[in-house]
């Protein structure tokens, strides 16, 4: 009988409920590894989200660590997202055995260069090219202090990223990220995002509206929603639903004189799932290309037509499954056309082929386990 395989996973946040990009990947990764026979020992940092009993059912053990929120850390030479997750207790807990360690994101890598852990196999999951991600956050941020913070953090992260040379392997979330990281580090491979979808299941028939969904409190998503409202759906004739948490005052004002645009604020996951399936077109522009957007996977697994711009799909391997337009006029014309076009069975079969090949949780758990356990 083969020996049990144990793995420490250090998560930057409590990965339940799995209700935003990063924790969706972590939670469903844990599920897939557990189903593959790996006993996961989860270490999660807390700052607003509560311990979750649901994680006890998936993991061999779960430990929580408070994130340091002292604002003086903002002025340190190390990135705040890393330094605020420094924990002596975490180091002590990791030293209780010799199991390999998976660091979720650059955020959790404070101990990657720790001499006491040098004999251990250490793998880093990269969710983005973090300095690029923070630079883009700065570009769309209007609050001066937050913009300063995002720019400063981007510079610190660009310098700090060199710690990845200490990892035995790096599991990038997108092919483009893997390609970029491989120019600086050895042993980089792409392990696509883990997600909650078991099969491609678009609804038959035709919807009568387009949908944009996302966490609207994030500057990038707010910018995309405002762009759609101002540039693509400015005039009546095309129905748009915008759904997401904590919509900004700017967005509410932008759509206040546009009765053909409906805002669904703070929807629960069931409502988002229903809207994604019922929409005739899921419109998903972005102005930030690093990583992969989990909402794109949700739309491809459960929705009908998917209309995106180049940054949303560039380097993801999903280009052939989407209609890609960048100019607002082209985007508007594509929406009008897709609202009148049935979602074909041939599109469904192509999605099944591509998504099963590249985004099977079971296959990708096996690939990740191979990187960690040297299978």
Specify the pLDDT at position 20. 85
Average pLDDT over residues 24-43: 97
Specify the pLDDT at position 1. 41
| Lowest mean per-residue pLDDT among 99-103, 294-298, 319-323, 345-349 | 345-349
Cα torsion at 191, 196, 198, 204 (round to 10°)?
-120
Place of tokens 């005739």: 280
Q: Is the per-residue pLDDT at 253 higher than 90? A: yes
Specify the pLDDT at position 16. 95
Spacing of C-alpha 239 from chain mean position: 27
* 178-208 pLDDT tens trace: 999 999 999 999 999 999 998 998 988 899 9
Q: Is the per-residue pLDDT at 2 higher than 70? A: no
- What percent of the chain has a predicted confidence (pLDDT) above 70? 99
Exposed / middle / buried, residue 38 (Cβ in 10 Å: 0-12, 13-18, 19+) = buried
* Closest to 276 measured CA to CA, from 254, 259, 293: 293
Q: Is the per-residue pLDDT at 105 higher than 60? A: yes
Strands (E), the chain: 5-11, 38-46, 61-66, 101-104, 122-126, 169-172, 188-190, 210-213, 240-244, 261-265, 281-284, 305-308, 323-324
Q: Is the per-residue pLDDT at 29 higher than 90? A: yes
* 53-87 pLDDT tens trace: 999 999 999 999 999 988 899 999 999 999 999 99
Phi–psi pair at 308, nearest 5 degrees: -135, 170
Domains of the chain (ranges; CATH) run 5-195+359-373 (3.40.50.2000), 210-357 (3.40.50.2000)
Are the beta carbons of 126 and 106 closer than 8 angstroms?
Answer: yes
Q: What DSSP assignment string belongs to 54-83?
A: HHHHH-SEEEEEEPP--GGGGGSSS-HHHH
> What is the number of alpha carbons within 13 Å of residue 311 lying toward its C-beta?
14
Q: Peptide bond preceding 17: is omega within 30 degrees of 0, i.e. cis?
A: yes
Specify the pLDDT at position 326. 96
Average pLDDT over residues 19-41: 95
């Amino acid at each position: 009988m083969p020996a049990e395989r144990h793995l420490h996973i250090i998560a930057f946040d409590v990965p339940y409920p799995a209700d935003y990009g990063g924790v969706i990947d972590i939670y469903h990764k844990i599920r897939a590894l557990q189903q593959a026979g790996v006993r996961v020992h989860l270490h999660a940092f807390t700052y607003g989200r509560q311990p979750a009993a649901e994680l006890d059912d998936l993991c061999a053990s779960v430990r929580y660590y408070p994130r340091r929120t002292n604002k003086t850390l903002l002025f340190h030479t190390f990135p705040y997202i890393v330094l605020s997750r420094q924990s002596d207790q975490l180091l002590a807990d990791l030293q209780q055995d010799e199991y390999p360690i998976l660091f979720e994101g650059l955020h959790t890598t404070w101990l990657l260069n720790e001499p006491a852990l040098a004999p251990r196999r250490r793998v880093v999951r990269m969710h983005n090219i973090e300095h690029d991600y923070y630079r883009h956050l700065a570009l769309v941020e209007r609050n001066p202090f937050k913009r300063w913070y995002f720019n400063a953090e981007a510079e610190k992260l660009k310098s700090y990223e060199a710690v990845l040379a200490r990892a035995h392997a790096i599991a990038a979330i997108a092919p483009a990220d893997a390609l970029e990281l491989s120019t600086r580090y050895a042993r980089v491979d792409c392990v696509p995002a883990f997600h909650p979808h078991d099969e491609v299941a678009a609804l038959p028939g035709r919807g009568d509206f387009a949908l944009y969904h996302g966490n609207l409190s994030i500057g990038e998503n707010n910018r995309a929603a405002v762009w759609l409202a101002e540039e693509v759906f400015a005039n009546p004739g095309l129905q748009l639903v915008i759904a997401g948490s904590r919509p900004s005052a700017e967005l509410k004002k932008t759509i206040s004189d546009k009765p053909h645009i409906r805002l669904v604020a703070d929807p629960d996951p069931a409502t988002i799932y229903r809207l994604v399936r019922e929409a005739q077109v899921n419109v998903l522009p972005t102005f930030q290309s690093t990583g992969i957007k989990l909402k794109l996977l949700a739309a491809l697994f459960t929705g009908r037509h998917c209309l995106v711009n180049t940054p949303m799909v560039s380097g993801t391997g999903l280009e052939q499954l989407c209609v890609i337009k960048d100019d607002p006029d082209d985007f508007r014309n594509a929406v009008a056309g897709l609202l009148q076009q049935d979602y074909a069975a041939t599109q469904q079969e192509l999605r099944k082929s591509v998504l099963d090949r590249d985004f099977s949780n079971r296959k990708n758990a096996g690939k990740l386990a191979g990187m960690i356990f040297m299978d």
